[in-house]
Structure 1
Amino acid sequence: MSTPTTQVVRPAGAGHETLYVLLLCLMILAVAGSVVAWRHESPTVSNVSSHQLDARRDLSASEQGIYADLRVTLDEIQLLQQEQQALPTPEALADEGFAPFAQDASSVSRGGHAWQLIGAEAYFGQSQTPAAVGSFLMRLNAADGAPNIWLNRAATLTAPTDLTDAALESAGWQQIVAQFDAGVTRQHRH
């Protein structure tokens, strides 16, 4: 008979494998961190002038709605202006159902503005509830068709007669500006 031999088999060392996995994880984190740091863009904050309001940050929800309605209705106003060779009256726009000129439940909850045409270049909407929603002035620029929309939150207000920037500023009007940056779209396209 032969003597039994005992063979001792040592388990494979997990220490080296663990070390390699940890080193691989650290290398992946270092590469990812460097890519993030390399591609990082510092946010550019555009400041508005003292006579301007940011449409996104400085307006109430009702005022934002009226501002958006005015911007959307502008295309229709320009089409009607080309057909009629003059700006359409607020009554004609209301008859067509264009917000914010139409008198409906939405317009009442947003201040019940009474709209009027000033000369041949601007629409003035006086708020019936100035404590909640300001009055609007949409001045159309004949050169490029771009509107200048202004807001005044004064309790007592009459339609302005001088529509220059300086006159509107001195009367307490503030121009509404729309800034579209990464904060608005929440997308980074590179």
Structure 2
Amino acid sequence: MSSATRIIVPPASGRRESLAVLLLVTAILILSSGVVLLHRDRSETLALSEWQVDLRSGLNAAEQGLTADLLNAVPEMPHLPDTSPEALADEGLPPFVADVTAQARGQHSWQRLQPGMAQAWLGLPALPEIARPILLRVAGDTPTIWITDQANPGTGDLTDAALIAAGWKQVATRFDASVTREDRH
């Protein structure tokens, strides 16, 4: 008689391989989380001066559109022989064109001002309930937008100090974590 030896062969399992993959995935997650946390932008919200207003949260949609149109018109102006509001309207530059968009944004009537070395365009709304009076001032190559709550704003002296004293607020862009416009109605 022969003695039969039994050999027990355990079934193949992937425990070791599964454990190695689990450890590798865990290490990758921990490392990538650490990298993300170290490279996160920690910019703080810049506070605006009392004579400034934030473009996103301080202006309504019509005023934001006027601001964008004015800032887009500025690069075109040096190439034009005449920068009167009528000539800018003839060139088709918003917001100087009296079209449907201009009506939706307060139907401003524009006038050009030239105090000293700066050039300026003042827009007075026919519909002040939609948008406030707005001023584009260009000194050199630097445009600034100003807005006021006054119906008949003074525009004799267009220096920053004079505009602030007359109740104008400079439109400023402030970048912070929020990109949502607050509705202040």
TM-score of the aligned structures, taking structure 2 as reference length: 0.81
- Distance in 2, matches of 1:178 and 1:128, equals 26
Structure 2 residues not aligned, in runs of 5+:
180-185
Contact kept? 1:133, 1:153, Cα under 8 Å: no
- Distance in 2, matches of 1:100 and 1:107, equals 6
Note if 1:172 corresponds to 2:167.
yes
Q: Deviations over 1:93-150 (max 9, x none)?
A: 1122111111000101100001111235211100122222111111121xx2211210
Q: CA RMSD in A?
A: 2.5
Q: Which residue of structure 1 lines up, in the alignment, with residue 149 of structure 2?
A: 153
Aligned pair count reads 176
Q: Which residue of structure 2 lines up, in the alignment, with residue 69 of structure 1?
A: 69
- Distance in 2, matches of 1:18 and 1:123, equals 71
Q: 1:99 aligns with which of 94, 100, 111?
A: 94
Contact kept? 2:132, 2:149, Cα under 8 Å: yes
Q: Deviations over 1:52-95 (max 9, x none)?
A: 12223322111111111111111222222xx45xxx21111112
Percent same amino acid at aligned positions? 39
- Distance in 2, matches of 1:12 and 1:145, equals 76
Q: Which residue of structure 1 lines up, in the alignment, with residue 104 of structure 2?
A: 109
Distance 1:158 1:42, change over 3 A: closer
- Distance in 2, matches of 1:164 and 1:145, equals 16
Q: Secondary structure at the match of 2:137?
A: strand
Counterpart of 1:134, as a letter, is R
Q: Work out which structure has the larger RCO, using CA pairs closer than 8 Å and 6 or more positions apart in sequence.
A: 2
TM-score of the aligned structures, taking structure 1 as reference length: 0.79
Structure 1 residues not aligned, in runs of 5+:
185-190
Tell me whether 48-57 or 96-105 shows the greater mean CA deviation. 48-57
- Distance in 2, matches of 1:69 and 1:180, equals 20
Q: Secondary structure at the match of 1:116?
A: strand
- Distance in 2, matches of 1:45 and 1:33, equals 25
Q: CA deviation at 1:43?
A: 2.3
Contact kept? 1:113, 1:126, Cα under 8 Å: yes
Note if 1:26 corresponds to 2:21.
no
- Distance in 2, matches of 1:106 and 1:66, equals 10
Distance 1:17 1:119, change over 3 A: closer
